[in-house]
Chains A and B, each alone.
Chain A
Amino acid sequence: AQKVTQAQTEISVVEKEDVTLDCVYETRDTTYYLFWYKQPPSGELVFLIRRNSFDEQNEISGRYSWNFQKSTSSFNFTITASQVVDSAVYFCALRGYNNNDMRFGAGTRLTVKP
């Protein structure tokens, strides 16, 4: 069974603060993929990153960084110096290596106030 847990339902920060969104997953697959998506108010899910289970190297892309720790089954997402435009719902997702089914977490609503 696959499961993704995003324990933080809502987070509110003030602009320029750093914020970390947590994601914990469960899977019996030895090889799998993890994803983060952003859903702004317009509704469309925007792909942010894919991480393979066999690649534990952390990644940084501008103000975004991701910390993948297989030992704790976590794939956390940090936004540095947050901006109002970062306000959205963020989803973490998991897909098995040969699995059609991508499981999403419940999402974390991030509000960045000016």
Chain B
Amino acid sequence: ETGVTQTPRHLVMGMTNKKSLKCEQHLGHNAMYWYKQSAKKPLELMFVYSLEERVENNSVPSRFSPECPNSSHLFLHLHTLQPEDSALYLCASSHPLGQGTQNEQFFGPGTRLTVL
């Protein structure tokens, strides 16, 4: 139990659907992350929030929209996805970013997304 939970664990959606992924951390962290893990590709960092402000957006298509209402919750809103977006979406959290902060990230179990 790492203290980071994600729901749902599995999601199947059509290309015209709108869905949201939820992440919650119980570790007292102030930074949260979304990663995409596709088959046979390295983990790709999608978004970073630190102190509830987005600090990183790695050229992610607009059909992915993150939301961080507070330091414990992170959402990823999905709209008009493509089949190639099928992947494992991992959420992580860490202590606040900053100079010298040794902030290893703790991961949730992921949401396995399939886009039909």
Chain B associates with chain A: yes
Q: Pick the contact of B2 from A33, A44, A97 — CB < 8 Å?
A: A44
Is A45 engaged at the interface, CB distance under 8 Å to the other chain?
yes
1/0 contact trace for B87-116 toward A, CB 8 Å?
A: 010101000011110101111111010000
Q: Pick the contact of A100 from B55, B99, B106 — CB < 8 Å?
A: B55
Contacts of A47 in B (CB 8 A): 2, 104-107
Interface-side segment among B38-46, B59-67, B68-76: B38-46
Number of interface residues of A (CB under 8 A): 23
Number of interface residues of B (CB under 8 A): 27
Contacts of A98 in B (CB 8 A): 98-99
Q: Does the CB pair A42–B109 fall under 8 Å?
A: yes
Closest B-chain residue to A48, C-beta based?
B104
Provided the pairs A33-B102, A100-B56 are in contact, do residues A44 and B107 lie with their beta carbons within 8 angstroms? yes
Q: Does the CB pair A43–B109 fall under 8 Å?
A: yes
- Which residues of A, 13-63, contact B by the 8 Å Cβ criterion? 33, 35, 37, 42-47, 50, 52
Q: Does the CB pair B2–A100 fall under 8 Å?
A: no
Q: Does the CB pair A44–B108 fall under 8 Å?
A: yes
Q: State in angstroms the CA–CA spacing of A91 and B100 once bound together.
A: 23
Q: Pick the contact of A52 from B43, B97, B98, B102 — CB < 8 Å?
A: B102
Closest B-chain residue to A101, C-beta based?
B45
Closest B-chain residue to A91, C-beta based?
B43
Q: Does the CB pair B106–A102 fall under 8 Å?
A: no
Is A104 engaged at the interface, CB distance under 8 Å to the other chain?
yes
Contacts of A52 in B (CB 8 A): 102
Shortest C-beta distance, A61 to chain B (Å), equals: 14
Provided the pairs A33-B102, A50-B104 are in contact, do residues A105 and B42 lie with their beta carbons within 8 angstroms? yes
Identify the interface centre among B50, B100, B107: most chain A CB within 10 Å of its CB: B107
- Which residues of B, 1-54, contact A by the 8 Å Cβ criterion? 2, 40-43, 45, 48, 50
